[in-house]
Amino acid sequence: MEGTIGRILIVDDDENICEVIKMYVENYGYSTKVCHDGRAAEECFLTYKPDLVLLDIMLPHIDGIDVLKWIRRENNTPVILLTAKGETFDKVLGLELGADDYIVKPFEPKEMVARVKAVLRRFNSDKSNKEVLNFDELNVDINSYNVVYKNEEVKMPPKEFELLHYLASNKNRVFTREQLLCEVWGYDYPGDSRTVDVHVKRLREKLQGGSNWQIETVWGVGYKFEVK
């Protein structure tokens, strides 16, 4: 079935897994492109311009983590990692580097399709109805995943952006790390709440605050976007 609702790049060195994924997502209306190594994946990404990437971690030539880093340097395209059972370190690292979700192999194909749809829904949901958040020397545009700070565009991976947007959308409200994991990541994260600390640290390195706003730590609780 020819895809009509989006393009998915499937990257896995196991041809059988690729065929199963391809069959299921095409049955749901997506078009697909398949690659079996990291180098080919980067080439296909540039020419195919997918709406989502299903990316295995263990790949020939260039591994999945390095492909993810390459994508995130310039692009916010959603990426779902495919990981083997027990690769906890790889899952945590991948998500911290900007992956949007992960699926553990072996997986149920219908669950895989549900995760694809959920990630794309989160990425594209009601963009036209979402506002640009404006603060002193800071603009956060959910429509384009764009941040402008002190008149300069600030590059950040999707999860950093989504954390910033969530905090700024709920100014002066304190969130625990667990609440932020649930609201921003949207699934049972395989690591721990230190992930939130890492992302907040990176946000603070890029955004040093304004005259009337700051990302504040509330000791013993969590974080808030404080506006005076």
Domain ranges across the chain: 7-124, 128-227
Which CATH number applies to 128-227? 1.10.10.10
Under DSSP, the state recorded for 174 is -
pLDDT digits (tens, 9 = 90+) for 98-130: 898 889 888 888 889 888 988 887 777 644 456
- Reply yes or no on whether the pLDDT at 175 is more than 50: yes
Query: Per-residue pLDDT averaged across 39-61, rounded?
Result: 94
Is domain 7-124 given the CATH code 3.40.50.2300 in the classification? Answer: yes
pLDDT digits (tens, 9 = 90+) for 125-172: 644 456 789 999 999 998 788 999 999 999 998 889 999 999 998 899
**Per-residue H/E/C for 102-124:** EEEECCCHHHHHHHHHHHHHHHH
Q: Buried b vs exposed e over 21-57: b needs ≥16 C-beta within 10 Å? A: bbebbeebebbbbbbbbbebbbebbeebebbbbbbbb
Is the Cβ–Cβ distance between 36 and 61 less than 8 Å? no
Is this model's pTM higher than 0.75 or not?
no
